[in-house]
Structure 1
Amino acid sequence: MTGRPVELAVEALRYEAEGRTLLHGIGLAARPGETVGVVGPNGSGKTTLLRCVHGALRPAAGRVLFDGVDASALGVRGRARRVAVVPQDAAGTFGLTVREVVSMGRSPHKRFWEQDGPDDRLRVTQALETVGARGLAGRRFDGLSGGERQRALVARALVQEPGLLALDEPTNHLDIRYQLEVLGLVRRLPVTSLIVLHDLNLAAAFCDRLYVLAGGRVVAQGPPAEVLTEELIAEVYGVRAHVAVHPATLAPSIVYLPEHPAV
């Protein structure tokens, strides 16, 4: 259902808008099959970086490479066959069923006028089964819960047969149960994943490695246990925190401390 996991390399990426530099020579790598998280405070450049990776934005300098191939040389369809996007929500889906939304993911593999064939329909069904949403196929997408919508959007990404999933805060506005379900699902998929997250505990629990952005620059990178220190959180986020090892997951567990503790 998915393509072969892609090796992602971002080299010296710079992005400018309205005379401002939003990304300052970003470097990032994701090995095939890795789940890599991008974290940082609001305005740090996380979503801008993700959009440069999947092609919604064109950088002013630097390169994005998929398996060593410059993404700018691939064209829209070639890029869409390598990387699929899971947004926070989907525009242009009003009135469509879940099956119709998921079927949109087949467009990079067909001519503009070409209708879905038996193979396309089978792949859509398989994708819905993979995300546990086959029973939602006939329901209207805009009538689903937040967690159900995210599952459908992951299924739409899967039928593109990508080697890389680019996810923009996929747990935003979801209840805790659905946050865990969506990230657990992504973690099990046989793809490379690049995920923008704002919740550091979720990033610590589900990502192999993290890149921390601040002011459009990478200020730290590495495994969560090495990156998510009390000192870094204070420096980057401006808050006090206590970081310990979670006894069940063995991942870093972060508790934020009030500025003026009760006495």
Structure 2
Amino acid sequence: MTADPVELAVEAVRYEVDGHTLLHGIDLTARPGETVGVVGPNGSGKTTLLRCVYGALRPTGGRVLLDGVDAGALGVKDRARRVAVVPQDAAGTFGLTVGEVVAMGRSPHKRFWEQDGPQDARRVAEALETVGAAAFADRRFEELSGGERQRALVARALVQAPGLLALDEPTNHLDIRYQLEILGLVRALPATGLLVLHDLNLAASFCDRLYVLSAGRVAASGPPERVLTEELLAEVYGVRTRVGVHPDTGAPNIVYVP
């Protein structure tokens, strides 16, 4: 359901608005098929960075490369064939059914005014089934719970068949079962994954590498076991923790200390 995985390179990306610098020369890489997490406290620049990657924002400095091609030089459709997005909210979906919202993901692969065909319908049905949303395919999107909406948005990204999945808090509003299922699905896909996450234990379990942002800069990067230290969490988040090793996964396991 995905294209060949994309190699992502973020080179010295800056972003400024109204005289304020939100990103200070960010460097980030994601190898083809790798799952990379971006973590950090509120206001650290995580969502701004993700929006620069998928084109909602144009960097005021630096560049984003997709398989070595400057993403800023790509047309909207060409970029959408390479990158699919799961945002924190879903604009432009009022009055549509869940199935219609998911089918929007096929737009980059169709000519203007081209109608959906059997292959499109099959991809939509498969994606809805994959994320556990088939039962409410005919319901209005705005009638769904937050968790149901999130699963539908993931399904829309899947039918886009991207080489890079950019996900902004994909576990937002989901109960623990669907958090694990959605992140497990993303990890299992051949596509490269770039995820903004708040839950550090989930990030440690499902990401190959992490970038920790603080005030628009990279405070640390590398494998979770090297990055998620008690010292760094105290410095970046201002909290006391105990970092151990999960007995089943071997990933860092963070316990917050009052």
TM-score (norm 1): 0.94
The 5-angstrom pairing of residues 1-263 of structure 1 reads: 1-258=1-258
- CA offset at residue 170 of structure 1? 1.3
Retained in 2: the 8 A contact 1:147–1:182?
A: no
SS at match of 1:170: coil
Matched letter for residue 119 of structure 2:
D
Alpha-carbon displacement from aligned partner over 1:169-189 (angstroms, at most 9, x marks no partner): 111232222222221222222
Q: Write the distance in 2 (CA, Å) between the matches of 1:185 and 1:98.
A: 20
SS in 2 for 1:242: strand
| Cα pair distance change 1:43/1:8, threshold 3 Å | same
Runs in 1 of length 4+ with deviation above 4 angstroms? none
- Structure 1: give runs of 5+ residues left out of the alignment: 259-263
User: What is the Cα deviation at residue 234 of structure 1?
Assistant: 0.5
In the alignment, is the contact (CA less than 8 A) between 1:97 and 1:137 conserved in 2?
yes
Between the aligned partners of 2:46 and 2:209, the Cα distance in structure 1 is 15
Q: After TM superposition, give the deviation of residue 209 of structure 1 in Å.
A: 0.4
Distance 2:242 2:161 in 1: 41
Aligned residue for 1:241, secondary structure, equals strand
Deviation at residue 106 of structure 1 after TM alignment: 1.1
Q: For residues 163 and 209 of structure 1, do their structure 2 counterparts lie closer, same or farther at Cα, with a shift above 3 Å needed?
A: same
Q: Distance between the aligned counterparts of 1:146 and 1:207, measured in 2? A: 24
2:223 partner letter: P
> Aligned letter for 1:208?
D
* Alpha-carbon distance in structure 1 between the residues aligned to 2:127 and 2:159: 6
RMSD: 1.3
- Inter-partner Cα distance in structure 1 for 2:177 and 2:145: 12
More displaced stretch, 195-204 vs 132-141:
132-141
Following the alignment from structure 2 to structure 1, what is the Cα–Cα distance between the partners of residues 78 and 28? Answer: 21
Secondary structure of the residue that 1:81 maps to in structure 2?
A: helix
- For residues 154-175 of structure 1, the C-alpha deviation after alignment (integer angstroms, 9 at most, x for no partner) is 1111111110000001112322
| TM-superposition CA deviations, 1:33-84 (whole Å, max 9, x none) | 1110000011110000000000000001111111111111111111100000
Local SS of the residue matching 1:37: strand
What letter corresponds to residue 163 of structure 2 in structure 1?
Answer: G
Deviation at 1:91, TM superposition (A): 2.0
Classify the secondary structure of the residue corresponding to 1:25. Answer: strand
Q: Deviation per CA, 1:137-165, whole angstroms, max 9, x where unpaired?
A: 22222233333222211111111111000
The CA distance in 2 between the partners of 1:224 and 1:146, in whole Å, is: 29
Letter in 1 for 2:157: A
Cα distance in structure 1, aligned partners of 2:185 and 2:147: 12
1:184 partner amino acid = G
Answer with 146-155 or 5-14: which moved more.
Answer: 146-155
Aligned to 2:221, what secondary structure does the other structure show? strand
2:229 & 2:60 partners in 1: Cα distance? 33
Instruction: Indicate conservation of the 8 Å contact 1:150/1:182, yes or no.
Output: no
How many residue pairs match? The answer is 258
- Runs of 5+ unmatched residues, structure 2: none
Write the distance in 2 (CA, Å) between the matches of 1:141 and 1:188.
27
